[in-house]
Amino acid sequence: MAKNISEKIDELKGGVEWFYSDDFKLEEASEKYKALTGLAKEIEKDLAELKNEIKVIEEDFSK
């Protein structure tokens, strides 16, 4: 099941917190960073799509 935007943001926050936690391992940091960067791009894409949907709805109601 696909995650919604809120779930993705929570996952991103948790990933960022990992960098400041006692679980941080330098050997894993690069891969974690790449994964979080990909997740951030996915969130940006989702938000852009949502923005477009809202614009379409606004246009429909303005007629």
> Could you tell me the residue range of the domain that residue 17 belongs to?
5-62
Statement: residue 62 has pLDDT above 90: no
pLDDT in tens, 2-43: 899 999 999 999 999 999 999 999 999 999 999 999 999 999
Residue 5: C-alpha distances to residues 8, 15, 41, 47, 60 (Å): 5, 15, 12, 8, 24
Domains in the chain: how many in total? 1
Alpha helices in 1-63, H assignment, sequence order: 5-19, 26-62
pLDDT at 63: 67
Residue corresponding to tokens 């990933």: 15
DSSP tag of 23: T
Statement: residue 60 has pLDDT above 80: no
Phi, psi of 25 (to 5 degrees): -130, 125
